[in-house]
Every structure is written in structure tokens, then in C-alpha cells.
């Protein structure tokens, strides 16, 4: 099995010290990306750590596919203890930073400790330079990028940056990269903020050589370039009309499942405002959404479907330019658009202010700087719902994405089992239930009984994709046989790797008190959920209370059978 190459670079930002460690055994067993990050965080962060404490660690990791020029590989992973969910969590981001990261020669970068002043880290194949940047305190993302360009001749594509939200420990703060791409879910930007790190830059000329099947990579790249996918026109918003038609689009703070103004903010609106193509590093698929509002002159990237839901239908905002501004404000202040949009929707519902876009824009800035009611909303719905008198639309502390589980019941089941909480990308069961896959791969959206087999496979497959690291939008090109060829392993071994990643996440979270009760805490009834959870645990070899036997965890250190 091919895997990422290079040492682990550990950076103690408090002591301003660095060490390099050989982690070949971890790379061989967990491939790269999310798998390597999960193993390192599981073993190196205390189970009782404070997410904002110096003992928490952030691990950035690319995978073997980032050494190739294949489409769908412009991504990398970040893993740590989440201040939003209070569990082990990985988030990944697209854009262009994965290649500069790989050029440093490191397989993974680990941040620990906490600085007593605001710093930036310049990471290269010659080590790390620490820069005191007190003048950047409170700066939005564009201001930081302008500084790095002027003072260091560093391009946005080489950077990871937090906005004011990360500095102010907003529990769903993002780490922004390539200007508008985000390590979004779970608040890892606040972890970076707790360490007093404003930015990281990457450069070098030491990328390792990993033997990728070049013929297959070229074939996939060509297919990406010639594909007629609607994603090329409207990105993920291309699903908006269908989701609305089948009743899976959360609306009015989750009270409804259809939005009668979807045409004003959905795929048609995106196509009308898109003014050029956008992509990630090396990718010919070009599904990104540079949009421009001619009347105001505003330019941004997006919004994608989940942002359209959280800042559109869920807030009853039907003005696409207002949605663009919400998206841009979140990017500039460093906020996860899903959690931020849902949190504001809860406030609008409580205050009878649904549809008030001007208030929405004010609230984004208040949240980012923890001013006024923004200080409350910055904590996330799970922590403030009682105070506002609203229903707790979270799972394991994470605000819900779209693709509603009340209609797509297998997706509802996956929200329950996901170690990240209400994250639609953890298993992507909605792909099977709309369906957005071939008929022979589709599932009936009704009911959860008997769906655990597919759910386990989806969770395991996505864990390996996130370790590769491979974009989820490669699903139309990535057959089992092709994935086996890319990683030089058979499917069963790949599923074993994915299963061990999921199990380590679950085990860590178990040690922090999470169990079956958290899986059953959906904010809506799902018939047969309890019975299917037992089936799911049995398939994974876990206890019926949703915990992982200790014997399983020691076995998870083993490399795949063919290694």
C-alpha cells in the first residue's frame, strides 16, 4: 500500500522549539491525511485535555496523492480536539496549499503548546521561522494575505490563516487557506487561535517521490476535464432544486423542508452570478464558484449548497447578493458557514427576525469579535439553545448540514453514528438516497433498517479517501478497482484502514464520555434507530453501548495484511 512519505515536524509554539520524528510505522498503517492525524492525536493528546489548552495538538497532514498531478487531489487534512464537539475531529480543505505543504518534505506537521504573543509560522524544508505579528491582531483574512504578500512575497496559495473568529475562540472558527477555502467544521480555527498562531506559510523544494500509477492518473485527469457534470456550472448548489423537490432542504430553522424561493438562491442564481471558472490545485474538474454581483460589485467564491441552506432557506433570506455577502464575511472573519448560519438562524427564529439579511451581516461580525449577543452565538447552538428558547438542532454539539435526515433516513442514521456529529460528508449516505449514484448503487430513502452495511462501507471508504487525500467529488470516477490501483492495495485492506480510523476516533471520544446516548440524541424521531444502531455496533465489533472494546484499539495499530 502506498502512503505519505517524510517525518513528523512537531512545533511547540510556546517554547518556539521544533523536533523531527520518524513516523514511518504510522504512515504505513494509516496512509496519510486524516488517518495519520487521527492516530497521532489519539495517542498524543490526553483524553481529558481542554480543547483550548496547550496540551491539545493540531496535526496537518497530506497524503500520497498530493505528490501526483491527478485531478481531485488538491486537498489536505487537519485533526485535533474540537472545541465545538469536544471530541477528536478531522476537517479537510481544498484549494492550493497541499502542494506547498508537501514541498516542505514533511508528511505531517504538529502544533502544540501556546505562544504568549501572536505569531506567524513560516515552515520550509529548512525548518520553521517564528515571527511576532502583534500588529495583525484582529485582522481579517485579506489583511493578513496583503501583509504576507508585501512583507514576505508569499502567495495566498501557500497560506493557512485565521480571522478574528479564531483569535476570539469562536467554537466554530475555521482555518482559511488559498483565501476562500476552509478547514471549516468543528472549530479547529479556534484551536489555532488558542495557540496564538495567526498564520502558517509553506514553501520548499523537497517533495518526496511516491510511485502513483501515472497512466490511471492521466485517465482520471482527462475524464475530469471532459466531464459534463452540472457541478461544473453550479457546484454543490446544483442539487438544490432536487433537494427542495423531495423535501430535504432545511428551512425556517429546520421547521420546514421546502423553500418556495429556492429559485432565487439556488443553482439558477449561482449560474447567473458566476463569472469565471474556479478550481483546486491540479484539478481539471473546476467545480468552484467565483461569483460577482454586478449591482454592488461584490465578488466572492460561492456560496455552496450548505451555505445556501444555512444562510438562505434556514434564515428565510431570498436575496442571492445578501447570501454572497454572508459567505464573504464568513470567509474574511474565518467562520464555518454551516454552524454560523444555523446559529444565526436560531437567533432570527427566537427574535422573529427571519429574512433580515442586514441583521445577519451585523451578527456575523459580532460573533467573530464576540461582541454583544455575538458572544452567546459564538458558543454554538448546543450551548446557547436553552438561553434563547430554541430547539437544539445539533448532533454531538455540531450544527446540522443540509440533506435532511427526516426525508433521507439513511442520512439521518449517518448523522447519528458520525463521530463528527451532524456532518454530511462523514458518510454521504444522501448520495445513495436522492440518489446521485447509478441505480444499482442507490438506496430507498425511507427507513433505516438494514442500512448499516452500506453505512459502514461509506464511513470506511470516506476515511480512506480523506487519508489519500482524495476529493469526495471524484466519486463518479473512482471505482473500487481504480482506488485499489491508486493505493496499490485490495479493497478489503483499504476498508480495514478506514475502519481502524473510525474506531480510533470513536475510542478517543468514548474516553471523553461519549456513547450510545449521544448517537440516539437526534432532534427528531427516526423509526427503528435503536435497533439499527445495535446492528451497526455489531458490524463494527463494538459494545452495544456504543463504546469500543480496548482490545480493538490495540489491534488498530497493526498495518494492513499486505504491508
Per-residue pLDDT tens over the stretch 149-164: 999 999 999 999 999 9
Beta bridge partners of 26: none
435 and 521 share one domain: yes
Which among 203, 238, 269 is the end of a domain?
Answer: 203
Residue 299 domain flag: yes
Q: What is the mean pLDDT of residues 109-124?
A: 98
Q: Domain of 165: which CATH number?
A: 3.60.9.10
209 located within any domain:
no
pLDDT at 477: 80
| Residue 556 pLDDT level (bands cut at 50, 70, 90) | low
Place of cell 505531517: 108
pTM of the model: 0.97
3-state SS, residue 401: coil
Give the domain CATH number at 459.
1.10.599.10
Residue 212 lies in a domain: no
The pLDDT assigned to 555 comes to 57
Whether the per-residue pLDDT at 504 is higher than 70: the answer is yes
Whole-number Å distance between alpha carbons of 386 and 399: 15
Residue that is last in its domain, among 203, 238, 253: 203
Q: pLDDT digits over 309-351, tens only? A: 999 999 999 999 999 999 999 999 999 999 999 999 999 999 9
The CATH number of whichever domain residue 315 belongs to comes to 1.10.569.10
Per-residue confidence (pLDDT) for residue 169, from 0 to 100: 99
Q: Tell me, yes or no, whether 417 and 466 share the same domain.
A: yes
Buried b or exposed e, range 246-279, using 16+ CB within 10 angstroms:
bebbbbbbbebbbbebbeebbbbbbbebbeeebb
With b meaning 16 or more CB within 10 Å and e meaning fewer, what string describes 438-466? eeeeebebeebeebbebbbbbbbbbbbbb
Is 220 a domain residue? no
Backbone angles phi, psi at 284, to 5 degrees: -90, 0
Cβ-count burial of 143 within 10 angstroms (0-12 exposed, 13-18 middle, 19+ buried)? middle
138-147, 232-241, 250-259: which range is least confident on average? 232-241
Q: Does 415 lie in the same domain as 374?
A: no
Instruction: Tell me what the mean pLDDT of segment 488-503 comes to.
Output: 97
514 has a pLDDT exceeding 90: yes
Task: Find the Cα–Cα–Cα–Cα dihedral 80, 84, 89, 94, rounded to 10°.
Answer: -90
Has residue 563 been placed in a domain? no
Specify whether 305 is located in the same domain as 414: no
Distance (Å, whole) CA 463 – CA 494: 10
Residue 480, SS3 per DSSP: helix
Q: Give the structural domain span for 361.
A: 227-399
Number of structural domains (the chain) is 3
Task: Let me know whether 235 and 353 are in one domain.
Answer: yes
Check whether residue 250 and residue 373 sit in a common domain. yes
Q: How far apart are CA 430 and CA 428, in angstroms?
A: 5
Judged against a pLDDT cut of 50, whether residue 416 lies above it is answered with yes
> Are residue 377 and residue 418 in the same domain, yes or no?
no
Which residues face 300 on adjacent strands?
291
Q: Is there a contact between 417 and 462 (Cβ–Cβ < 8 Å)?
A: no
Q: Is residue 389 packed enough to be buried (19+ CB in 10 Å), middle (13-18) or exposed (0-12)?
A: exposed
Whether residue 557 is predicted with pLDDT greater than 90 in this model: the reply is: no
Contact 372, 366 (CB under 8 A): yes
Amino acid at each position: 500500500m502506498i502512503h505519505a512519505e517524510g517525518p513528523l515536524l512537531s512545533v511547540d509554539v510556546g517554547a518556539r522549539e521544533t523536533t523531527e520524528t520518524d513516523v514511518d510505522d504510522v504512515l504505513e498503517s494509516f496512509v496519510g491525511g486524516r488517518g495519520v492525524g487521527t492516530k497521532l492525536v489519539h495517542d498524543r493528546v490526553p483524553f481529558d485535555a481542554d480543547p483550548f489548552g496547550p496540551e491539545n495538538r493540531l496535526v496537518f497532514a497530506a497524503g500520497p496523492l498530493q505528490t501526483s498531478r491527478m485531478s481531485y487531489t488538491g486537498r489536505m487534512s487537519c485533526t485535533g480536539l474540537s472545541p465545538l464537539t469536544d471530541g477528536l475531529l478531522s476537517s479537510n480543505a481544498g484549494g492550493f496549499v497541499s502542494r506547498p505543504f508537501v514541498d516542505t518534505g514533511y508528511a505531517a506537521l504538529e502544533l502544540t503548546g501556546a505562544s504568549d504573543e501572536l505569531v506567524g509560522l513560516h515552515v520550509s524544508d529548512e525548518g520553521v521561522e517564528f515571527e511576532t505579528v502583534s500588529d495583525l491582531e484582529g485582522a481579517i483574512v485579506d489583511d493578513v494575505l496583503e501583509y504576507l504578500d508585501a512583507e514576505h512575497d508569499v502567495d495566498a496559495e501557500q497560506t493557512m490563516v485565521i480571522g478574528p473568529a479564531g483569535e476570539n475562540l469562536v467554537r466554530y472558527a475555521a482555518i482559511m487557506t488559498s483565501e476562500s477555502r476552509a478547514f471549516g467544521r468543528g472549530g479547529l480555527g479556534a484551536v489555532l487561535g488558542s495557540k496564538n498562531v495567526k498564520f502558517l506559510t509553506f514553501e520548499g523544494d523537497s517533495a518526496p517521490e511516491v510511485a502513483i500509477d501515472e497512466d490511471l492518473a492521466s485517465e482520471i485527469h482527462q475524464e475530469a476535464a471532459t466531464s459534463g457534470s452540472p457541478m461544473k456550472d453550479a457546484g454543490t448548489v446544483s442539487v438544490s432544486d432536487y433537494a427542495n423537490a423531495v423535501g430535504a432542504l432545511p428551512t425556517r430553522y429546520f421547521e420546514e423542508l421546502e423553500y418556495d424561493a429556492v429559485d432565487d438562491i439556488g443553482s439558477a442564481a449561482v449560474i447567473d452570478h458566476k463569472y469565471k471558472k474556479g478550481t483546486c490545485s491540479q484539478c481539471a474538474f473546476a467545480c468552484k464558484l467565483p461569483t460577482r454581483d454586478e449591482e454592488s460589485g461584490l465578488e466572492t467564491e460561492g456560496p455552496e449548497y450548505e451555505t445556501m441552506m444555512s444562510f438562505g432557506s434556514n434564515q428565510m433570506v431570498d436575496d442571492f447578493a445578501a447570501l454572497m455577502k454572508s459567505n464573504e464575511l464568513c470567509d474574511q472573519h474565518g467562520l464555518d458557514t454551516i454552524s454560523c448560519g444555523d446559529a444565526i438562524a436560531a437567533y432570527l427564529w427566537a427574535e422573529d427576525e427571519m429574512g433580515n439579511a442586514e441583521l445577519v451581516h451585523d451578527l456575523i461580525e459580532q460573533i467573530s469579535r464576540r461582541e454583544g449577543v455575538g458572544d452567546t452565538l459564538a458558543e454554538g447552538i448546543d450551548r446557547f439553545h436553552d438561553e434563547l428558547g430554541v430547539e437544539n438542532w445539533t448532533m454531538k454539539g455540531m450544527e446540522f448540514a443540509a440533506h435532511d435526515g427526516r426525508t433521507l433516513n439513511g442520512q439521518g442514521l449517518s448523522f447519528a453514528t458520525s463521530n463528527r456529529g451532524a456532518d454530511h460528508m462523514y458518510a454521504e449516505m444522501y448520495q445513495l438516497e436522492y440518489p446521485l449514484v447509478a441505480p444499482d448503487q442507490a438506496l430507498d430513502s425511507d427507513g433505516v433498517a438494514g442500512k448499516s452495511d452500506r453505512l459502514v462501507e461509506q464511513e470506511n471508504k470516506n476515511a480512506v479517501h480523506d487519508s489519500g487525500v482524495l476529493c469526495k467529488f471524484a466519486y463518479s470516477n473512482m471505482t473500487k478497482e481504480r482506488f485499489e490501483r491508486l493505493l496499490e492495495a485490495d479493497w478489503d485492506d483499504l476498508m480495514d484502514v478506514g475502519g481502524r480510523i473510525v474506531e480510533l476516533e470513536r475510542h478517543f471520544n468514548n474516553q471523553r464520555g461519549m456513547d450510545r446516548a449521544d448517537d440516539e440524541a437526534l432532534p427528531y424521531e427516526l423509526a427503528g434507530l435503536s435497533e439499527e444502531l445495535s446492528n451497526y455496533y455489531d458490524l463494527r465489533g463494538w459494545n452495544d453501548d456504543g463504546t469500543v472494546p480496548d482490545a480493538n484499539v490495540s489491534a488498530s495499530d497493526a498495518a494492513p495484511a499486505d504491508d
